[in-house]
Amino acid sequence: MPLLLHWLRYCWLPGLLLAAVAAQYFNLLSFRGLLLPKLPYVLLGIALSLGVFFKSSRVAFVAVLLLAGYTAVNFFQVVPVGETVVGLALALAAVNISLVSISEDRSPLNGFGVLLLAVITAQGMALAELQRCCSAQLGGWLHFPVGSMLPPWLPDILKRVQSEDLLLISAAAFAGLRAFWRPEHIGVGLFACVLLLLGAYYAGAEEGTLVLVAVSVGLLLTLLALRSAYELAFRDELTGIPSRRAYSRYLLTLGRRYSIAVVDIDHFKKLNDRYGHQVGDQALRMVAGQIARYGGGRAFRYGGEEFVVVLRGGDNERASRSLERMREKIAGYPLRLRGASRPRKGDSRALSKRGQGGGKVIKTTVSVGLASSSREMRSPEDVLGAADRALYRAKRGGRNRVCVHK
């Protein structure tokens, strides 16, 4: 169940868009008036600029790919709508998107970006050449019945598969597997783009459908680029939970009654010194995950090994119960070390400790200070200050405990 929820977090946006496209295609909704043939240029252009600006090579690559394809269809008639080469162009675009979906994002304005641009240009030229010299044979190649070579006991539907189907279905399966295996916004979004191209192919790729698909992909890419910009600004890179900047924003949404808890890992410096920063980072990720899950409110990484949890309602009793449970969960969590920091060359003492982290299980604890808003303490700064003083008492009292500001 948690895996499904985790997955849903990433697929609601592409899912909504796919549903809107399907509703439009089956005439359940009508945006026809909005689907101007020039709109894909605007949306894909915006997506490309955002991809370049926010260093997302995946978004930028897909935007350039579709801009080139759409321009070819509209202006140069290199790929005339309705002929077999449109199917090949859609299949190639789907394969490209699924391949790029497994790469990591990096700056599109470097060697890698130029390589991707060269790949798109080469494919465009090859398509134009195919169209010019062998359009007669093209149909034969694309509709080659690959499925007819399968064993006779397999279902008929598989035996009807042609080379073009094979390309498109493999691209969709590849992007789908990648999105399912390591769900994140851009991976799931690119899988949705492949599904849109698949839909366009099976819908017959006539002009109206191509505009609909190009507009939808442009919109989706733009939203993905904005989403990754949001993640950059408001999510802590190491732990994946909202950052201090997100905390400041969240405070603006609070009512009069709320509580703030400050959570600090105990003896974290010792843990870092003994096992290295990599293990320290692993502990930070574990603690952040447990706070987000059991803290009873919205968790943020405040800085270093310090987190804050904001709980609505201002009920000290309820807040301290959930924080106590969270503290127990963290204290009982067996952190299996993946490996100590790599020793420096020539450091024989460090070399003798090599691999000491691998497989070893350690436990870590946290101290928590909690305070709630009141008549005397209205501003979040005051409440945070009181929670900090309560945290100090928890540390002085022996650590691994929750102290409440009275």
Ligand X SMILES: Nc1nc2c(ncn2[C@@H]2O[C@H](COP(=O)(O)OP(=O)(O)OP(=O)(O)O)[C@@H](O)[C@H]2O)c(=O)[nH]1
User: Does residue 275 bind ligand X (CB under 6 A)?
Assistant: no
How far apart are CB 273 and ligand X at their closest, in Å?
Answer: 7
User: Does residue 281 bind ligand X (CB under 6 A)?
Assistant: yes
User: Does residue 264 bind ligand X (CB under 6 A)?
Assistant: yes
Q: Decide if 404 contacts 388 (C-beta within 8 A).
A: no
User: Does residue 307 bind ligand X (CB under 6 A)?
Assistant: no
User: Does residue 389 bind ligand X (CB under 6 A)?
Assistant: no
Nearer to ligand X (CB atom), residue 231 or residue 266: 266
Among 120, 214, 263, 284, binds ligand X (CB under 6 A): 284
Is 305 a known active-site residue?
Answer: yes
Among 82, 145, 240, 304, binds ligand X (CB under 6 A): 304
User: Does residue 338 bind ligand X (CB under 6 A)?
Assistant: no
Nearer to ligand X (CB atom), residue 374 or residue 400: 400
Among 9, 245, 257, 267, binds ligand X (CB under 6 A): 267
| b/e code 378-400 from CB counts within 10 Å (16+ = b) | eebeebbbbbbebbeebeeeeeb
Can you give the three-state secondary structure of the chain, one letter per residue? CHHHHHHHHHHHHHHHHHHHHHHHHCCCCCCHHHCCCCHHHHHHHHHHHHHHHCCCHHHHHHHHHHHHHHHHHHHHCCCCCCCHHHHHHHHHHHHHHHHHHCCCCCCCCCHHHHHHHHHHHHHHHHHHHHHHHHHHHHHHHHCCCHHHHCCCCCCHHHHCCCHHHHHHHHHHHHHHHHHHHCCCHHHHHHHHHHHHHHHHHHCCCCHHHHHHHHHHHHHHHHHHHHHHHHHHHHECCCCCCECHHHHHHHHCCCCCCEEEEEEEECCHHHHHHHHCHHHHHHHHHHHHHHHHHHCCCEEEEEECCEEEEEEECCCHHHHHHHHHHHHHHHHCCCEECCCCCCCCCCCHHHHHCCCCCCCCEECCCEEEEEEECCCCCCCHHHHHHHHHHHHHHHHHCCCCCEEECC
Nearer to ligand X (CB atom), residue 281 or residue 347: 281
d(CA 22, CA 338): 46
* Cβ-proximal residue to ligand X, closest one: 280
User: Does residue 262 bind ligand X (CB under 6 A)?
Assistant: no
- Identified catalytic residue from 305, 306, 317, 328: 305
Nearer to ligand X (CB atom), residue 21 or residue 265: 265
Nearer to ligand X (CB atom), residue 18 or residue 331: 331
User: Does residue 325 bind ligand X (CB under 6 A)?
Assistant: no
User: Does residue 236 bind ligand X (CB under 6 A)?
Assistant: no
User: Does residue 300 bind ligand X (CB under 6 A)?
Assistant: no
Among 274, 354, 395, 401, binds ligand X (CB under 6 A): 395
Nearer to ligand X (CB atom), residue 164 or residue 305: 305
- Bridge-based pairing of strands 361-362 and 366-372 is unpaired
Nearer to ligand X (CB atom), residue 50 or residue 286: 286
User: Does residue 357 bind ligand X (CB under 6 A)?
Assistant: no
Binding range to ligand X, per CB under 6 A, among 60-68, 89-97, 101-109, 277-285 = 277-285
User: Does residue 293 bind ligand X (CB under 6 A)?
Assistant: no
Q: How many residues bind ligand X (CB under 6 A)?
A: 17
Binding range to ligand X, per CB under 6 A, among 120-128, 275-283, 308-316, 347-355 = 275-283
User: Does residue 268 bind ligand X (CB under 6 A)?
Assistant: yes
Applying CB under 6 A, the residues found at the interface with ligand X are 238, 264-270, 272, 277, 280-281, 284, 304-305, 395, 399
Annotated catalytic residues are: 305
